[in-house]
Amino acid sequence: MRLHVADHPLVAHKLTVLRDAATPSATFRLLVDELVTLLAYEATRDVRTREVEITTPVAVTTGTKLAQPRPLVVPILRAGLGMLDGMTRLLPSAEVGFLGMQRDEETLEAITYANRLPEDLSGRQCFLLDPMLATGGTLVAAIDYLLQRGAHDVTAVCLLAAPEGLRVVEEFVGDRADVQVVVAAVDERLDERAYIVPGLGDAGDRLYGVV
């Protein structure tokens, strides 16, 4: 597994405002969108491309376009939806699938309740969107889901990660180079409720309100 922590002052600034409990939902949603666009720039560094010949107003030249099959962006519902626009802004030609997963608050196991993905992902580059990598259970289940269907490589884009969750993902993935985690920051630890500390609270609730 490869881990990339985005080291940029704009990322740090936006993350600080997100952490603030006084930040209202409307501002929170806007900042998540902006922050994900910055993370997407790092996450797509190795996206597959092909050379194409084009004609500019001056001359014929060789340029670069995204290769086929198109990348697949997969937000994990519901909180991952708040990251979708920021990701597709940078990858407008990508296809979008959805995974509905939630954590059982007693067992901390991931439960899949919805799936809108192609059955065959052979050769596809997939980008998972989930704001918080806490225990790692949900992300491991999602990565496993994609790899079993033939995904060529998987990049998880998260706002925050806990060391405990990263260890769980790394233990599952091992030394596979085709799985990457891109985060804005790695925080201190998990608390007794498996919330990231200092974290930013429940990302879904802060994006959409308490349901």
Strands of 11-162 (E only): list them: 49-55, 60-66, 72-77, 95-96, 98-103, 110-116, 125-129, 132-133, 153-161
- 104 marked as part of a ligand binding site: no
175 is catalytic: no
The answer to whether the annotation marks 131 as part of a ligand binding site is yes
Q: Which of 29, 70, 103, 149 is catalytic?
A: 103
Dist CA 191 CA 48 (whole Å): 39
Does residue 133 have a known ligand-binding role? Answer: yes
Q: Is 132 annotated as a binding residue?
A: yes
Which of 7, 104, 191, 205 does the annotation list as catalytic?
205
- Tell whether residue 57 is among the known ligand binding residues: no
* Contacts of residue 180, Cβ cutoff 8 Å, sequence gap at least 6: 1, 2, 3, 4, 43, 46, 153, 154, 155, 156
Residue 97 assigned to a binding site: no
Q: Is 205 a catalytic residue?
A: yes
Q: Is 165 annotated as a binding residue?
A: no
Question: Contact, 168 vs 109, CB < 8 A?
Answer: no
Q: How many residues does the chain have?
A: 211
First to last CA, the chain: 35
Locate 10 and state its tokens.
Answer: 């704009």
174 is in an annotated binding site: no
* Annotation marks residue 46 as catalytic: no
Helix axes 163-173, 137-148, angle to 10 degrees: 30
Under the phi-then-psi rule, with left for phi > 0, alpha for psi from -120 to 50, and beta for the rest, what region is 123?
A: left
Q: Is 187 annotated as a binding residue?
A: no
Q: Out of 7, 46, 120, 202, pick the active-site residue.
A: 202
User: Which of 55, 62, 107, 193 is the catalytic position?
Assistant: 107
* Residue 88 appears among annotated catalytic residues: no
134 is in an annotated binding site: yes
According to the annotation, is 141 in a ligand binding site?
A: no
126 burial type by CB count under 10 A (0-12 exposed, 13-18 middle, 19+ buried) = buried
- Check whether 136 is labelled as a binding-site residue: yes
Annotated binding site: 78, 103, 130-138, 196, 201-203
**Annotated binding site for uracil: which residue ranges?**
196, 201-203
Binding residues for 5-phospho-alpha-D-ribose 1-diphosphate: 78, 103, 130-138, 202
- So which residues are the catalytic ones? 103, 107, 202, 205
